[in-house]
Structure 1
């Protein structure tokens, strides 16, 4: 290893944020497993859902009862070029979904599709290049998706949206709209994409579902601000040191609050049977999310986690996402963790309805500002 790389790794290892990841994140995943084991032994038949096969979707102009066997439901997965997203795309294509892979790199999208088709020649797949840190790119994706459905003579709807994309940025940088990159990708993008695709989900002739991929790290958030400066992440740019571990935890906590609030809103308007919302926590999975961490540190971390029995491959870690995606119709507002259809309680803070309503209002305001800015740019 070059001396410069060694110095950078040592400097990185001496930061508060690194030790927050090393200690608190390990403790929080252990706490999640303790919740799981306690529930398994005390109430073995509660909080567990079987997987169900997806329902076929009729082509335009036919009734749902006349749906042909080949009417595959459409699933949209973000961050689908590698890791959990690619594993979910592979598995759900085998379950009968027409999988739409969304990612930033056309090359990696082509590679992911090629890899899936090597294992499953009959997979129905479609790739769209989209930069989730850009609101305009999200809008362009929605338009392209709608046009593709129309051109393919498919029903103008989607049945499953998996907000999987996420990053761990070790240094601060901004999105095209000036928001923090990590908040913009991990939370704001999921909120905005869900908002723009909601009409397609609600238009589905079969029950549709939203799955937000969150993280056990949300358990380290004990006090949370949901004002505009914090949710947009602009507050963090003013700090001397970029608190990347805190921001990652915060983004995942926001994703949970959003999931539960959207679930409650569907219940209030009587749409919970039509569109369901669940969260999925895959645990610790060996993906490239640690790419901005010095390689020697990430390798040591993976080795320690493997020795502790906490590290999973994407093929194993994806089980909680699949459990959420394939749960019985109407399963909503729950937190999948540990595989085998099991759910546990997330942190007490994540169920704070007052906080979730405030976050919803702030997020909607951000969404409308982004929408207005996009319209002004177009004109």
Structure 2
């Protein structure tokens, strides 16, 4: 007990903890304030309706959800399986994936679910997943396409860890992994006979970033690995800001501003949700935070928080480049910095270079293994 208390006090004395306590709270309140002002003063419609999934005799819509072993990812899987999607669960734990699959089938015996073990911080694992997914679609005689990709996976690490590519694991999982997965699955999304969509699950915490350096070291998180005290709160904020910038830039590149496109892109902010993302914190601190947020009415369950993700996923096909927040099809404006087109372009170029470096390294590794096994 005394040891746990000392750990909690030491953790509470860090800059990152107070950044979360103050900046994140203010950022969340800004989003809710936007909802309030839109409701009071705007004459335009404040929400988008949800559409039915594109089910037909010739097409079973396929939805890929990352981070699907618990929390928001699992909640999205439950809901979208009821919408008629063939839900592909992606996660790091085979045990937890099997558990979620079983729970979904228990609640809905007609649900169609498949699971793949994937480490999104590893480019090699992402490539293996693409190959396995394509083979599975072929084996099941499904259309060789994907209709919905939900990049939900995210971690909040309190200590630095390094990915196989040498990047910071939190940045690798939260942003680089989502970028790379989207890049490798984009051909399958474009191949869909019906409009397809990408949903990037981001966070109000991006509002806590007022300026950011966009270069290889910051995007990969390498610069943070040299810090004396790991700035986990800032890294998490950056990763979520990058996801939004990526969403808007991809929206632009797909030509959605000037003309309708086959693939749409939306961002979804679930708000503050009670999940296990703070599992590396001293347990008393998340519990205290949950109690305070519950009292002031800002804490949501995964079943409630998933609403914005479903809104972003099931909005009309022409809806793209929108930041969904608050449920009920509602949306707000993300931060001013997140709309910096020059910054988004720079981020895209650096991310693409990282993607190509990882792709080349993966090919060289495969060639080396092949040569030495023959």
TM range (shorter): over 0.9
Partner Cα separation in structure 2 for residue 261 and residue 136 of structure 1: 25
Q: Which residue number corresponds to residue 194 of structure 2? A: 206
Deviation readout 1:244-266 (Å, 9 max, x if unpaired): 00000000000000000000011
SS in 1 for 2:281: coil
User: How many Å apart are 1:114 and its aligned residue?
Assistant: 0.8
2:165 alignment partner in structure 1: 177
TM-score when scaled to structure 2?
Answer: 0.96
SS at match of 1:330: coil
Mapped contact 1:272–1:332 kept (Cα < 8 A): no
- Partner Cα distance (2:38, 2:280) in 1: 36
Q: Does residue 164 of the first structure (1) align with residue 152 of the second (2)? A: yes
Residue 365 of structure 1: aligned partner: 353
**How far is the alpha carbon of 1:270 from its aligned partner?**
7.1
Shift of residue 226, structure 1, vs aligned partner: 1.1
- Name the structure 1 match of 2:372: none
CA distance in 2, matches of 1:375, 1:53: 40
Q: Does 1:295 align with 2:322?
A: no
Superposition deviation, residue 46 in structure 1: 2.6
Match of 2:334 among 313, 328, 346: 346
Cα distance, 1:225 vs structure 2: 1.1
Q: 1:137 aligns with which of 125, 130, 141?
A: 125
The answer to whether the 8 A contact 1:50-1:328 is kept is yes
What per-residue deviation string (whole Å, max 9, x for no partner) do you get for residues 64-98 of structure 1?
A: xxx417x3200000000100000000000001111
Q: 2:70 aligns with which of 82, 85, 101?
A: 82
Separation in structure 1 between the aligned mates of residue 132 and residue 178 of structure 2, nearest angstrom: 18
Q: Any idea what SS the aligned residue of 1:333 has?
A: coil
Equivalent of residue 237 in structure 1, options 206, 212, 225: 225
Indicate which of 267, 276, 292 corresponds to 1:279.
Answer: 267
The Cα of 1:52 is off from its aligned counterpart by 0.3
Long gaps (5+) in structure 2: 368-374
Residue equivalent to 1:53: 52
Among 303, 312, 326, the residue aligned to 1:315: 303
Structure 1 spans left out of the alignment, 5+ residues: 57-66
Q: Distance in 2 between matches of 1:10 and 1:20?
A: 15
C-alpha distance in 2, partners of 1:182/1:107?
A: 22
Flag the 1:144–1:211 CA change in 2: closer, same or farther, 3 A: same
CA deviation string 1:317-373 (max 9, x = no partner)? 000000000000111000000000001100001010000000000000000000011
- Correspondence 1:91 to 2:59: no
Is the partner of 1:19 in helix, strand or coil?
Answer: helix
CA distance in 1, matches of 2:46, 2:40: 12
State the match for 2:371 in structure 1: none
Q: CA deviation at 1:271?
A: 7.3
Q: CA deviation at 1:45?
A: 4.0
Counterpart CA distance in 1 for 2:147 and 2:44 is 28
Deviation at 1:47, TM superposition (A): 3.8
**Is the counterpart of residue 27 in structure 1 residue 26 in structure 2?**
yes
* Local SS of the residue matching 2:109: coil
C-alpha contact (below 8 Å) 2:61/2:147 kept by paired residues: yes
Counterpart CA distance in 2 for 1:206 and 1:194 is 18
Specify the SS of the correspondent of 1:102.
Answer: strand
**Alpha-carbon offset, residue 269 of structure 1:** 9.6
CA RMSD in angstroms comes to 1.2
Contact map agreement 2:60 2:142 (CA 8 A) in 1 = no
Task: Say if 2:268 and 2:325, in contact at 8 Å, map to a contact too.
Answer: yes
Alpha-carbon distance in structure 1 between the residues aligned to 2:104 and 2:349: 40
Q: How many residues align?
A: 367
- State the 1:116 CA deviation: 1.0
Question: In structure 2, what is the Cα distance between the partners aligned to 1:268 and 1:26?
Answer: 33
Contact 2:256 2:320 in 1 (8 A): no
Instruction: Tell me if structure 1 keeps the 8 A contact 2:152–2:200.
Output: yes
- How far, CA to CA, are the matches of 1:207 and 1:373 in structure 2? 33
Contact 1:51-1:341 within 8 A present in 2 as well? yes
Partners of 1:291 and 1:109 in 2: CA distance: 18
Instruction: Say whether residues 1:68 and 2:57 are aligned partners.
Output: yes
